Amino acid sequence: MKKSDVQREIDAMTKNMSKYKTTILQVSVHREESNPIFGEGNTYVSVDDEAGGPFLTIQQTEDVMENGKVRMDYEEFMAVAEAAKMLMHQMYIEQAVQK
């Protein structure tokens, strides 16, 4: 598998940081005009681990959620899917899955 552009950027940033590694654990998917941290209708994709290996969590801000449902249109779903792929294909996350 080829390294993604994101992984190449992470490698370049951390090249000289011998004892530190960088791993992205959460991505905010939001409308362009919304604040990525607390904007209305944001969807958060994160990597979590409860000692059984890493897994993905998808959360939305409360104004969108209804009884635990995740609701998004097709375009947002595609952005969430890409964010999930990016998170899970990071070198350190892949290593955690293999162990």
* Residue 14 CB neighbours (<10 A): 13
User: In which order are the strands placed within the sheet that holds 54-60?
Assistant: 26-29, 43-49, 54-60
CA distance 84 to 45: 6
Q: What is the pLDDT of residue 1?
A: 44
Q: Which amino acid is at 97?
A: V
Pairing of strands 43-49, 54-60: antiparallel
Average pLDDT of the residues in 26-46:
91
Q: How confident is the model at residue 46 (pLDDT cuts 50, 70, 90)?
A: very high
pLDDT at position 30 over 90: yes
Torsion sign (Cα): 68, 54, 7, 38: positive
* 77-97: pLDDT as tens digits: 999 999 999 888 887 777 766
| 76 or 51: which leads in pLDDT | 76
